[in-house]
Each structure stands twice: as structure tokens, then as C-alpha cells.
Amino acid sequence: MDKKIDLTEGGIVEKLVKIALPIMGTSFIQIAYNLTDMMWVGRNGSNSVAAVGTAGFYPWLAMAFVMFSKIGGEVKVAQSMGEKNEKEVKSYIKSSIELNVFLSVTYSLILILFNKALVGIFNLGDAEVISMSRQYLVIVACGMIFYFVNPVFTSIFIGLGNSKTPFKINTIGLIANIILDPLLIFGLGPIPALGTNGAALATISAQIIVSFVFIGYIIKSREDYFKVKYFKNIEFEYFKILYKLGFPVAIQNALFTLISMAMGVIVASFGPVAVAVQKVGSQIESISWMSADGFASSLSTFTGQNYGAYKFDRINKGSKIGLIGALIWGSITTLVLVFCGEIIFRAFIDEHDAIIKGVDYLKILGYSQLFMCVEITITGVLKGLGRTYIPSFLSIILNLARIPMAILLSKPEILGLNGIWWSITISSIFKGIILFVIFVILYKTKKLYKGQNDMVKNEGKNKKQSNIYRL
């Protein structure tokens, strides 16, 4: 059984690396899921990519609802671990899973019942693409509960200080997906070629495997923190706390997806090739932001545990280390996307027009990577402190600005299709700069931690009154 890491003691770099590497590995697994699907689906042409990409907005939107339970599972479990409060840990785990299951069932029913209208929003104009997209959406919806519960299991383990277990379990799912994708998409022997439906079935099957391995591990390990009676004596007060913490992030994620859908409608006006370029390009670019998000998640857990233990100096040092890492990683990904776009894009679609447009996409998005990585890293620190409103509000405002910018800049007489990509890059650059300035101001004015001075003075005497100073 993998040991939980106490992030409140020992070398900061060492502890951050220990918990960050498996989390980043888990993020890479998610990237590999998406890229594997896109690589195999791309072999069927732009129409298949457009169909999967369009339907894929809704599993993406699902993550907004997952955030209500995921944030609690990660932040509040970490803070409770720092406080050494076992009862609170159990209550947050129980409530996170209960809330997650309820939301997943509700969302699944909506996708199944309204799949025609949901796909129709995009005005794809191609009967074949619309049909494939609807079928893909219904299949994915049938397994949506597993989409929901796996990120929450992962975040709970990370909050406990155990990032190796979710990495190993998610790796099993990736291997299953890699095997099943080509098998179900193109067929083999008695197995028929199912095309985009095969991609959906492969992904769902892999998610189911991950869920059952998580459950099996919990049962076998006899982990005390999971020993609670689920769906009995529901603790609504914890639901309220989860809601308060998760609401800004959930709204941010929901609006981000809806904004991306609106951007998708604008992109669709340029034809199926443009849609395919956006879908493939965004999957490639996700290597950068999901890696940064993986490290930010570890920084959030580190911050949460040390905040619960009143160790602000460790948080300050950890934040500086995180920002240095963000600058290095952002610089590397900028260089790769700007100068190696064609080599990368050819691995996914072998169509001349798509490659030309894809290289432009990666180059333009490449200019924003450093700023995006800084934004994600600072967001991780603030999330660990429970201050989810600050980055969420900023993100919502500047993401909304993408729509009018995209409409304006995509006019033929201005930048055309590339204007859409520039609207994304410009907003990302501003988000990174503004959030960094806010963070520095909060730090310099000693407003980063509410009640910090009193907590330091009374540390060791008033730990039982810690909720007075909670954000």
C-alpha cells in the first residue's frame, strides 16, 4: 500500500516533487487518453474528428459539476489532514462521493434525453457528422458516472497525501484505452469496425475499469478514512461547504466550456477542417496546461496541509518554487509549439490544408504558454487556501472577452480563422499578468492569509479555534 506523504514537515522541494510527479503523471495519462482517441479517430478523416470533438464538449462540461465534489475532496481533505482531524477527513470524503454520484446521474439523463438539441447547437450542417456526434454523445452519457467519480477518487487520495495510487490506477485505464481504441474503431477478426462509436466505447470501458480498480483498492487496503456509511445520515452542512468552495470553480469551468462551445460555433463557420484543427490543436496544447495543472494540484495540496498546520513560511517558499517551475515549463512549451508545430500536427492528421491551419494554431497559442502556466500555478496556491473566488472571477471575465474578440478578429478583412486563435492567446496573456500582480499585492500587504498575525502569535494555543480564521 502506498504511503501518505506529510507535506507539513521535511524538505519543501523534496516533498513537492514526491507528490507532484505522480499527479503530473496522472495528468499526462488524461492527455494520453485524449490524444490516443484523436490519433485513431483522425485516421477516419476530418468528419470523424469533428463529430467526436463536437460531442466531446459535453463530457468537458461535466467537469464543471465534478468540481463541486472534487475541490472539497482535494482542498478540505488536505486542510483537515494538516489539522490532524480524522472525523473531518471522513466527513468530507463521504460528502464528496455522495454529491458526485447524485450530480452524475442527473447530468447523464440530460445528455441522453436531449442529445439531438445539444448537438444541434453547433449547426454543423453535415448529416453524417451530426449523426456520428449524437451516437457518440449517447454512448458516453451512459457511462458518465465513471467520468464523474474517477477525478473525485483521484483528488481525495491526493488530498490525503497519496498521489502514487491514483497515478497507478489511472495508468491501468490508459493501457486499456490504448488497446481498445484501435480494436473497436477499426475492428479485428470477429470484432466489427465501429468508427466513432468504438472510440466512445473504448473510453467508457477504460473509465469503468479505473472505477472498479479504485473501489477494489479501497476495500483491499482497508483504508480507515473511507470507512463510512454512504448515503446514510447525509451531512448537508458539508454539502454547503463543498458548494461554497466549489461554486466559483464550477461556474468558471462551466462558462469556460460554454465559451469554448460558442467559439466552436464560430470555428464551425469556417468548415469541418477548421473544427478538426481546433480539436486536434487543443489536444496537443493540453500537454502544456494539463502538466501545469498537475503541478498546481500538488501545490494546492501542499498549501492546504500547511495552511491547516499554520505553517505559512512553507507556503511562501513552496509558492516561489512553483512559480519558478511555471516559468521554466512555460518557456519550454512556447518554444516547442512555435517552432515544432508542423512535425507535431502531422502525427494526427495527414491532410495538407489541415496541417497548414494547424501549424498556425499551435504557433499563435504558443505565445501564451508562459503566462498561462503562471496563472495556473497561482490558482493552485489560492485554491489550497480556499480562496477560489479570486482566480475564478478573473478567468470568467477574460474568457468571456474571447467571444467578441473572436467575432471581430475573425472577419475576413482582419485575420480570418487565425483571429479566433489570437483571441484565446490575448486573454491568456492578460490572465497570467493580472493574477500575478494580484498575488504579489496580497503577499506584500500580508493579506494572503486572513488572520495570519493572530494565528502565528497563538499557534499551539488556539488550534481548536482554527475555524475562526478559515477563509
Q: pLDDT category, 460, cuts 50, 70, 90? A: very low
Q: What is the pLDDT of residue 177?
A: 85
- For residues 353-377, b (16+ Cβ closer than 10 Å) or e, as one string? ebbebbbbbbbbbbbbbbbbbbbbb
Q: Reply yes or no on whether the pLDDT at 456 is more than 50.
A: no
Mean pLDDT of the chain: 82
pTM of the model: 0.71
End-to-end CA distance of the chain: 34
Q: How many domains does the chain have?
A: 1
Lowest mean pLDDT among 164-178, 309-323, 345-359, 362-376: 345-359
The dihedral built from the CA positions of residue 65, 68, 73 and 74, taken in this order, carries a sign that is positive
What average pLDDT does range 448-466 have in this prediction?
Answer: 49
Q: What is the pLDDT of residue 437?
A: 94
CB neighbour class for 102 (10 Å; exposed up to 12, middle 13-18, buried from 19): middle
Give the number of other Cβ atoms within 10 Å of residue 445's Cβ. Answer: 8
Q: Reply yes or no on whether the pLDDT at 53 is more than 80.
A: no
Residue 210 resides in a domain = yes
Q: Reply yes or no on whether the pLDDT at 451 is more than 70.
A: no
Residue 3 resides in a domain = no
More confident residue, 153 or 76: 153
Q: Reply yes or no on whether the pLDDT at 289 is more than 90.
A: no
- For residues 64-99, b (16+ Cβ closer than 10 Å) or e, as one string? bbbbbbbbbbbbbbbbbbbbebeebbbbbbbbbbbb
Phi, psi torsion values for 56, nearest 5 degrees: -65, -15
Q: pLDDT category, 469, cuts 50, 70, 90? A: very low
Residue 7 resides in a domain = no
Give pLDDT tens digits for 129-140.
888 888 889 998
Amino acid at 432: G
Q: pLDDT category, 87, cuts 50, 70, 90? A: confident
More confident residue, 413 or 462: 413
What average pLDDT does range 34-54 have in this prediction?
Answer: 73
More confident residue, 127 or 216: 216
Lowest mean pLDDT among 234-238, 367-371, 456-460: 456-460
The answer to whether residues 435 and 374 touch, using CB atoms and an 8 Å cutoff, is yes
The answer to whether residues 351 and 46 touch, using CB atoms and an 8 Å cutoff, is yes
Domain that holds residue 267: 12-469
Q: pLDDT category, 450, cuts 50, 70, 90? A: low
Helices then strands (H, E): number in the chain? 20, 0
Give pLDDT tens digits for 351-382.
777 888 888 889 999 999 999 999 999 998 89
Q: Reply yes or no on whether the pLDDT at 471 is more than 60.
A: no
Residue 5 resides in a domain = no
CA distance to 54, 69, 303, 322, 377, per residue, from 297 (Å): 28, 15, 10, 11, 8
Residue 272 resides in a domain = yes
C-alpha cell at 2: 502506498
Phi, psi torsion values for 274, nearest 5 degrees: -65, -40
What average pLDDT does range 72-95 have in this prediction?
Answer: 80
Residue 213 resides in a domain = yes
Q: What is the pLDDT of residue 424?
A: 92
Would you say how long the chain is, in residues? 471
Give pLDDT tens digits for 377-406.
999 889 888 787 888 889 889 989 999 999
Q: Reply yes or no on whether the pLDDT at 114 is more than 60.
A: yes
Q: What is the pLDDT of residue 468?
A: 33
Q: What is the pLDDT of residue 213?
A: 93
Lowest mean pLDDT among 11-15, 99-103, 359-363: 11-15
What average pLDDT does range 446-464 have in this prediction?
Answer: 53
Residue 2 resides in a domain = no
Residue 195 resides in a domain = yes
Q: What is the pLDDT of residue 435?
A: 94
Using CA atoms in the order 437, 439, 445, 447, what is the torsion angle rounded to 10 degrees?
Answer: 150
Q: Reply yes or no on whether the pLDDT at 463 is more than 80.
A: no
Amino acid at 31: I
Q: pLDDT category, 82, cuts 50, 70, 90? A: confident
What average pLDDT does range 269-289 have in this prediction?
Answer: 81
